[in-house]
Amino acid sequence: MPTIIETNLNRKIELPLGVTSPAFTDKITKNEESIDLTDAEVKFSMRPLLSRHPVIDQEEAKGFAPDGNGDNVAYEWQEEDVVTEGIFMAWWDFTIDEEAKQTPEFEIIFSDHGPGVGTKTGGIVDGEADHMPTTFHALRNDPNFGDRRLQKYATLIQLRIMNSSVEPEEEITAYSLPLLDYFSKRLAFELCTPGIDYWSRQAHTVSSYSPTEIASFPEMIASLEKLRGALCAELENDWKLLRFLVPGLPQRSVAALPASSLEYEDWSDNTGQLVRRNGPIGFITPNPRNTAPMATNYWRGLDPLFVGSYPFP
């Protein structure tokens, strides 16, 4: 029978940001039995969720005999360990009877009790729920998306429109209500694509044969496609209105593209003399109606800064 090493932390652990006390404890089991680690050499490691580089790398921990809860290891947090909010993966290394062992990774979230789980979110993300509440809730609670990507989209939208961004907790005070609502609506527009991806992988009909039961769900993909079309029209009109309501808002213009010109064909007659045809053979550049949406920009020095697509950035 293979030896199975596990920890008691089979769910995510949420800890307050900046708090070093009490010590972090866990129960390491061997074949489901808590083991005595009094004489074991124990190390604790922790890395950010999206990184292979540990922020706590093989730091000394303490092993002991199982207590009343079965806990048998502990790590004393250092101040530098608990200063960064976010999601981390941790594990224990220990040596017992001259045999090195390592536990599976478990999730630790450091939070300051603000909006967002492990990631700060602001007024833009909060307002997005006004426009697509069901999909917003689904994406926020999806482990493959979550608050981190919601706020990433919110920051990207600010950079595209304002060429700057503010901290999540400053969004409500930094932007007027019409502009904040525009950001949230734009976020809903951007989330239609990941929302379609999410709902395309969910069950639409569930059947049970004993007793017979059928549960059906609304066609969310069609709803999101319809919402995306409606938001596109609304955002265009809202952007035109904001240009007059919000003083100092960067004004967009259509980025300069290569000018279309006419080309004439040169050919030779029977005598070998070069002859130019009187009429054009067509445009060099493609038909504008067949091109991608026009890019918008505003000028920064001598180079244009491309910040989105017309009619809204």
170-187 pLDDT tens trace: 999 999 899 999 999 999
Average pLDDT over residues 188-197: 92
Asked if pLDDT for residue 2 goes beyond 60, the answer is no
Question: pLDDT at residue 91 above 90?
Answer: yes
* Residue reference for tokens 């999540």: 168
Higher pLDDT, 175 or 265: 175
* Tens digit of each residue's pLDDT (9 = 90 or more) over 11-56: 678 888 888 888 999 998 888 888 899 888 999 999 988 789 999 9
Among 82-86, 173-177, 296-300, the least confident range: 296-300
pLDDT value, residue 68: 85
pLDDT band at 300 (very low <50, low <70, confident <90, very high): very low
The class (CATH top level) of 5-111 is: mainly beta
Q: What is the pLDDT of residue 54?
A: 92
* pLDDT for the residue 243: 79
1-15, 65-79, 187-201: which range is least confident on average?
Answer: 1-15
Q: Where are the domains of the chain?
A: 5-111, 123-245, 253-309
When pLDDT is averaged across residues 140-145 and rounded to a whole number, the result is: 83
Say if residue 158's pLDDT is above 60.
yes
